[in-house]
Structure 1
Amino acid sequence: MKIVTADQMRSIEDRSEAMGVSKDALMERAGLETARYMRRVCAPLFGVPIVVLVGPGNNGGDGLVVARHLHRWGARVSVYICRDRRTPDPKLDIVNELEISVIAASDDEGLMLFRELLSMAHVVVDSVLGIGRLRPLEGTVRDILLMLAEARAAKPDMTVLAVDVPSGMDGDSGDADAACPAVDITLAMGYPKVGHYAYDAEARIGKLDVVEIGLPDGVDDDVPLSLMTDANIRPMLPLRPSDAHKGSFGRTMVVAGSLNYIGAAYLAGSAATRAGSGLVTIALPASIQMAVAGKATEPTYLPLAESSPGVALPSSAGDVLGALGDYSGLLIGCGLGQAADMQGLVETVLYSGEKLPPTVVDADGLNTLAHTPHWWERFPDTAILTPHPGEMARLTGMSTGEVQADRIGIAVESAALWNKVVVLKGAHTVVAYPDGRAMLSPFANPGLATAGTGDVLAGSIAGLLSQGVQMEEAAALGVYLHGMVGESVRGRLGDTGMVASDLLPELPLAIRSLGEGDGG
């Protein structure tokens, strides 16, 4: 499923019309499918008081179509015109012919009738303003939306549904006017919009669903941003033939861990194993080997010579590089710390000029890159980088706030500049590719905001790479499985108290579920 900007949506509608499906037909279908959605989710509708807030543009036209279908199905519909519409107005004419109650704000002194409608309403449909660029809300429309917000707060049993976006929210940036109401459900017309996945949009849009509006096939082929779904991620799963042996599923080298971050090596190495890698070797400072091996019994180990307890010598990179010829995937960085010698180890491996196996760079590997100006020129190989927003800020020279304000744009620009696959972690993780395409995770799980879950993600991706999954697909598949696993654990434990090791035994279950068509 594609995710679009406002301009892209307008272009798609133009293309649709050129292919024989008119904008009026799209509006009719959008209104019908929205009404059908409400009949499923808000049932029963017969006799239920519903207020449809209508604006002056196409979003308001969608609302008028919704109103007439709900009326025909027995709901007590009232249409409230928040701002006068242009004439002639065929959609409003049909509503009037059906003798649906229509009230215009311009005729409602002090908005008293609107206040009365809100006091009786069980459902309110917000179709006032659409996905266009945000302008400050003013005058009557602002007053109406503020009253709606007050009514929703006072009546917790009232459902507010927004058509495409809550009025006053920018469909591209997710920025919102102070008067923009929080809603219970946002129904995206045709496609989710980029702004739906903005850093702080979720609290405003509520549950996000998408309704089909009858667009012809192929109208979105040039849209570079996609939403991860079972359907587009499942084909990325590696095959597991019945006559396979451990050598069939690759070998993963994980360079991780230090005195203060022993768990990172355990989590990353175990995740690569759980993701299906045939053999995993953890290269780590020699003095912490026994501690990690006590937790992770399946991997083999490459102990590295140390300059101090838990800190590997830069020269030990030679041992890593010497062994890599036998490996089909490399992960470097988890829990290495930022001691100068550990940074030297990372630099020696990544800047060696030797041909590396498909590589994932995470955590302190990324922090080491950030110390080198134009590091991507010294590390030209295609690789997967898995930064959280703070690490992305260091890599780009931006602030964390700047990264969070334009997660998709910055990830896409950076992937192109660096010639790397960028996995920008966080709510709705972004996977950006060097050619300008990107995929967005549907998952936003606060339970994953805990130490070590990033190590599990990095290890999972490395384990998939080792099995021969192509780099672009391994990144997306790893992110999606990680999200599925997080949802599964969240379902059992809730948002609080989830720890990274809870994810490990769930990984094979998620792989099986996705492969069988039962994924999230």
Structure 2
Amino acid sequence: MKLVTAAEMRQLEAAAIAAGSSEVQLMEEAGLAVAQESWMLLGTLEGRRILVLAGPGNNGGDGLVAARHLYDWGADVAVYFPKGHRETARLDELRAREIPLLMGEDDPEGQQLAAQLAAADLVIDALLGIGQRLPLDPADPIARALAALASTRSSYQPPKIVAVDVPTGLDCDTGAVDPLLVRPDITVTFGLPKVGMYQLPGSDAVGRVQVIDIGIPKDAVDAVPLELITSRWVRQHLPARPADANKGTFGRVLVVGGSRRYRGAVALAAAGAYRAGAGLVTIATLEELAHDLAGAIPEATWLPQPPGPDGSLPGETAITLRSEWAAARAAVIGPGLSLTDDTRAFTWAALPDTADCAGGVVVDADALNALAAMDDASARLHPRAILTPHPGEMARLLRTTVPEVQRDRLGAARAAADRFGCIVVLKGAHTVVAAPGGRAALCPFANPLLATAGSGDVLAGIIAGYLAQGADPFTAARLGVYLHAAVAEALEPEYGRAGLIAGEIAARLPRIVRDLTQS
């Protein structure tokens, strides 16, 4: 499913009009869909009171079309205009039906609005559409209407709310939310869902999103560079598992990392790769860690390495491993390394050698921090590299701040993908996967169960597991990101929103894949 910004949506609407639709037709399709969703939300319209809050633009026009249909289908409908309306033809249609039209300028104290809201079974928010800018002016009549709606929403029997295209108070490009926004039960959005609906805090402010086809040409939709990762897409792109396969069929993953301080990270990454379906995982780590961890993951093979002076892999290890990259189809470098002088020297020396790993390499954790300090970083990366930073690591890669990264996560991921010339996975709520040139994908999930130590190591291993099975880097990253988060979604009814540990993510992964393929 593609996601669009406000500007892209306007371009798609223009493409629909150029293909033979009209603005009137698009509005009719949109308003009809809002009316139908309102009917389904209420279950019946007979004796139900519906209030449409109509703004002065096209969003308000969609609300007027919905009002007309709902009245014709038997509902008791009224329309409230906080700021007047320019759609005189549609107003005439409503007047002909004797639908009450209430004007905000005739209700300076808001008494009529309060009375209508108190009596309503359902309110349609058709105040502002994709062109709105935040923050809203608290003195604006639209803001006062939202405040009145919020007050009613907290009553004993609050009305249900349907938002037209986007809730009023949502920046549909960034997901920023105005304090006056009133969360709807359903957002009926037109053409394609908007980016801000899948970025926090916006994703928590839209209710259930219902996407309505209004006749946008398919070729125009196909050209949109941003998509939402869906379960359907995942089912279609999971690697084949032929019955006559052997472990070589599913590839070898080389995991390189570990230090005395971070001992378990390589084992978690290895578990992620195995649970994603890799045939064999080899771990290159410190001798003492190999000895300690062998029992924890007996399925792995080991390349024990002597430690450097600061207890991490020294630069000389890069020479030792030179022949190992080509023996693996995919690799992970970074889990548990720790950021020391040894780590910096090792990462600088090893990264160019990873190009011998045919399927690609996942660069994670302190390998990313070492990379961020390199002036020739992009030149040292595997052409099929996947970087998996959390916001702090991303800030170091882009030489900016965490608040700047979080303010525009999609933009940050795209900027890093272009700067380093590879796939970038910006972890966090609604993880972003970006490719050079602007193509990107968002994870639909934002779950605090994943905010636990080692979760990122498991994700790196999962992605490498799909690389080992032949997936291209962009596909492997999207598969890993979705399935890693889907584990938390599946376990939330059992765990709540805390208490999941990283090893359980890996252990649960095969059942998530099974459930997806059987659904």
Q: TM-score range by the shorter chain?
A: over 0.9
Which residue is 2:420 aligned to?
Answer: 418
The range that moved more, 253-262 or 432-441, is 253-262
Which residue is 2:315 aligned to?
Answer: 314
For 2:477, give the aligned amino acid: A
Cα offsets for 1:148-201 (capped at 9, x unmatched): 122223346432221122213322233344433333332222211122233322
1:511 Cα shift?
Answer: 2.0
Which residue is 1:34 aligned to?
Answer: 34
Which residue is 1:203 aligned to?
Answer: 204
Counting only pairs closer than 5 Å after superposition, residues 249-268 of structure 1 correspond to structure 2 as 249-268=250-269
Closer/same/farther in 2, CA of residues 85 and 453 from structure 1, 3 Å limit: same
State the alpha-carbon separation in 2 of the partners of residues 128 and 204 from structure 1.
16
For 2:188, give the aligned amino acid: L
State the alpha-carbon separation in 2 of the partners of residues 418 and 345 from structure 1.
19
Counting only pairs closer than 5 Å after superposition, residues 231-380 of structure 1 correspond to structure 2 as 231-308=232-309, 310-352=311-353, 355-357=356-358, 358-379=360-381
Cα offsets for 1:86-121 (capped at 9, x unmatched): 15x232222222222221112224111101111122
State the alpha-carbon separation in 1 of the partners of residues 156 and 53 from structure 2.
18
Q: Residue 133 of structure 1 contacts residue 172 of structure 1 at CA under 8 Å; is this kept in 2? A: no
Counting only pairs closer than 5 Å after superposition, residues 55-454 of structure 1 correspond to structure 2 as 55-87=55-87, 89-134=88-133, 136-137=136-137, 138-155=139-156, 157-308=158-309, 310-352=311-353, 355-357=356-358, 358-379=360-381, 381-454=383-456
1:354 Cα shift?
Answer: 5.4
1:310 Cα shift?
Answer: 4.8
Which residue is 1:22 aligned to?
Answer: 22
Secondary structure in 2 matching 1:134 = coil
Quick check: 1:465 aligned with 2:471? no
Secondary structure in 1 matching 2:166 = coil
Closer/same/farther in 2, CA of residues 397 and 244 from structure 1, 3 Å limit: same
State the alpha-carbon separation in 2 of the partners of residues 173 and 514 from structure 1.
30
Cα offsets for 1:310-336 (capped at 9, x unmatched): 522221222322222211001011111
1:422 Cα shift?
Answer: 0.5
Runs of 4+ in 1 over 4 A off after TM superposition: none
Counting only pairs closer than 5 Å after superposition, residues 471-490 of structure 1 correspond to structure 2 as 471-490=473-492
Secondary structure in 1 matching 2:403 = helix
The range that moved more, 78-87 or 301-310, is 301-310
Closer/same/farther in 2, CA of residues 488 and 310 from structure 1, 3 Å limit: farther
Closer/same/farther in 2, CA of residues 409 and 10 from structure 1, 3 Å limit: same
Q: Residue 253 of structure 2 contacts residue 329 of structure 2 at CA under 8 Å; is this kept in 1? A: yes
For 2:380, give the aligned amino acid: R
1:353 Cα shift?
Answer: 7.9
State the alpha-carbon separation in 2 of the partners of residues 257 and 352 from structure 1.
19
Closer/same/farther in 2, CA of residues 23 and 468 from structure 1, 3 Å limit: same
Secondary structure in 2 matching 1:323 = coil
Q: Residue 253 of structure 1 contacts residue 329 of structure 1 at CA under 8 Å; is this kept in 2? A: yes
Quick check: 1:4 aligned with 2:4? yes
State the alpha-carbon separation in 2 of the partners of residues 336 and 209 from structure 1.
45
Secondary structure in 2 matching 1:313 = coil
Secondary structure in 2 matching 1:314 = coil
Q: Residue 489 of structure 1 contacts residue 503 of structure 1 at CA under 8 Å; is this kept in 2? A: no
The range that moved more, 125-134 or 188-197, is 188-197
Quick check: 1:500 aligned with 2:499? no
1:352 Cα shift?
Answer: 4.4
State the alpha-carbon separation in 2 of the partners of residues 310 and 33 from structure 1.
63
1:344 Cα shift?
Answer: 2.1
State the alpha-carbon separation in 2 of the partners of residues 291 and 150 from structure 1.
60
1:405 Cα shift?
Answer: 0.8
State the alpha-carbon separation in 1 of the partners of residues 196 and 320 from structure 2.
47
Q: Residue 334 of structure 1 contacts residue 362 of structure 1 at CA under 8 Å; is this kept in 2? A: yes
Q: Residue 256 of structure 1 contacts residue 336 of structure 1 at CA under 8 Å; is this kept in 2? A: yes
For 2:116, give the aligned amino acid: L
For 1:390, give the aligned amino acid: G
How many corresponding residue pairs? 516
Secondary structure in 2 matching 1:52 = strand
- Taking only the aligned residue pairs, the percentage that are identical comes to 43
1:361 Cα shift?
Answer: 0.4
1:56 Cα shift?
Answer: 0.8
For 1:82, give the aligned amino acid: P
Q: Residue 284 of structure 2 contacts residue 305 of structure 2 at CA under 8 Å; is this kept in 1? A: yes
State the alpha-carbon separation in 2 of the partners of residues 112 and 39 from structure 1.
27
Q: Residue 16 of structure 2 contacts residue 215 of structure 2 at CA under 8 Å; is this kept in 1? A: no
Closer/same/farther in 2, CA of residues 354 and 460 from structure 1, 3 Å limit: closer
The range that moved more, 232-241 or 89-98, is 89-98
Cα offsets for 1:376-426 (capped at 9, x unmatched): 133363310011111100100110010011111121122122111011111
1:474 Cα shift?
Answer: 0.6
Closer/same/farther in 2, CA of residues 398 and 309 from structure 1, 3 Å limit: closer
1:288 Cα shift?
Answer: 1.3
State the alpha-carbon separation in 2 of the partners of residues 156 and 467 from structure 1.
54
1:130 Cα shift?
Answer: 0.6
Secondary structure in 1 matching 2:490 = helix
1:287 Cα shift?
Answer: 0.6
State the alpha-carbon separation in 2 of the partners of residues 289 and 391 from structure 1.
27
The range that moved more, 121-130 or 342-351, is 342-351
State the alpha-carbon separation in 1 of the partners of residues 459 and 235 from structure 2.
18
Q: Which runs of 5+ in 1 are unaligned?
A: none
State the alpha-carbon separation in 2 of the partners of residues 27 and 414 from structure 1.
39
State the alpha-carbon separation in 1 of the partners of residues 398 and 207 from structure 2.
32
1:233 Cα shift?
Answer: 3.0
State the alpha-carbon separation in 1 of the partners of residues 345 and 209 from structure 2.
46
For 1:232, give the aligned amino acid: W
Q: What is the aligned-residue RMSD (CA, Å)?
A: 2.0
Q: Which runs of 5+ in 2 are unaligned?
A: none
1:308 Cα shift?
Answer: 5.0
State the alpha-carbon separation in 2 of the partners of residues 209 and 282 from structure 1.
46
Secondary structure in 2 matching 1:335 = coil
For 1:22, give the aligned amino acid: S
The range that moved more, 134-143 or 186-195, is 134-143
For 1:61, give the aligned amino acid: G
State the alpha-carbon separation in 2 of the partners of residues 289 and 421 from structure 1.
30
Cα offsets for 1:205-254 (capped at 9, x unmatched): 23333222233322323211111112333322111111111111100001
Secondary structure in 2 matching 1:262 = coil
